[in-house]
Amino acid sequence: MYTINQVRGLLNSQSPFLEYPGVRRPYIYVGSCPCCGDERYILKCCRSIWCPICNLKLAGKTYHQMQYINSEIPKKYIRQFVTLTFRNTALITKHFFRQYRNIFVKKFLRKKPFKKTVIGGFYSFDWTINQWYRDHTFNIHIHLLWFSRSFYHPDFLSRKWSEASGDSQIVDIRLVKNIDKALYEVQKYIQASKSILACEEKRRTELINAVQGIRRFSKFGQAYKVKIPKTKATCDQCNEFYIYEREPLHTEQFSVPEYPKVEYQYPLAVNF
């Protein structure tokens, strides 16, 4: 549910990726408060991560969910931001992600001492493209925010990660000072289209196919168990539920008057 300005902002966020197969044009349901007539909008789209609109929607939603979960986890658990890096690879394939998830979950997270001390958290797979080699290589890594009973020294963590991964000891661990920033880092991978654009054009399709359908974000432990309440939006003024039109408007029908391009900043307000 968005305000008119948020809808315009999302529609203005168009990029070449809107032309990617599977990415459809969005449409809009208009809702109004039966009491005061205030209008709100639901923007339905393709749910493709390559679509700039759905991309922003997904990022906002994930972010707010994480914020809610964080507020439900007792303060006594230490919030730490961890990065675990895999060895550089020449390719990205679905097989890699499966293998890496296995390494991370089975050989690291469920092993001593983390099994007993880390009560839950969020993680995402992200990658960067190393441009300085003649042939690009990929650096796949995990961003992880965990709730833990104790703090680990980077050297210890590095040793444990090296044992789990078999060939990589590069890690980073830090205490979270700004929780919003840490949550943002975990869901940053959603801006996938940006990292794809950084790739040579001829390799883009290959890369998109490789990561299509891969689950890149997960919650685990206590973070997974937190129930996120579904709230139906009501009008702030009258506390009445919005009533939505049965027929959606296509965005072409939806008049978007001349409006300055909106630079989106996180957190994007989303009701879910």
Residues near Zn ion, by CB under 5 A: 33, 35-36, 38, 45-46, 51, 53-54, 235, 237-238
Measured from the CB of residue 26, what is the shortest distance to Zn ion in angstroms? 6
Closer to Zn ion by Cβ: residue 108 or 254: 254
Closer to Zn ion by Cβ: residue 13 or 162: 13
Closer to Zn ion by Cβ: residue 46 or 105: 46
Which two three-digit tokens encode residue 201? 């054009």
Q: Which of 188, 158, 189, 183 is nearest to 173 (CA)?
A: 158
Measured from the CB of residue 144, what is the shortest distance to Zn ion in angstroms? 28
Measured from the CB of residue 58, what is the shortest distance to Zn ion in angstroms? 9
Q: H-type helices in 36-166, by residue range?
A: 52-72, 94-102, 114-117, 154-165
Measured from the CB of residue 237, what is the shortest distance to Zn ion in angstroms? 4
Closer to Zn ion by Cβ: residue 51 or 145: 51
Closer to Zn ion by Cβ: residue 22 or 154: 22
Q: Nearest 5°: CA angle at 57, between 54 and 59?
A: 105
Q: How many CB atoms lie within 10 A of CB 254?
A: 18
- Its sign, for the CA torsion 89, 94, 97, 101, is negative
Grouping H, G, I as helix, E, B as strand and the rest as coil, residue 136 is: coil
Closer to Zn ion by Cβ: residue 37 or 257: 37
Measured from the CB of residue 238, what is the shortest distance to Zn ion in angstroms? 3
Measured from the CB of residue 3, what is the shortest distance to Zn ion in angstroms? 13
- Strand (E) positions, the chain? 27-32, 39-44, 78-85, 118-130, 137-148, 171-175, 217-221, 243-244, 249-250
CB-CB contact of 205 with 101 (8 Å): no
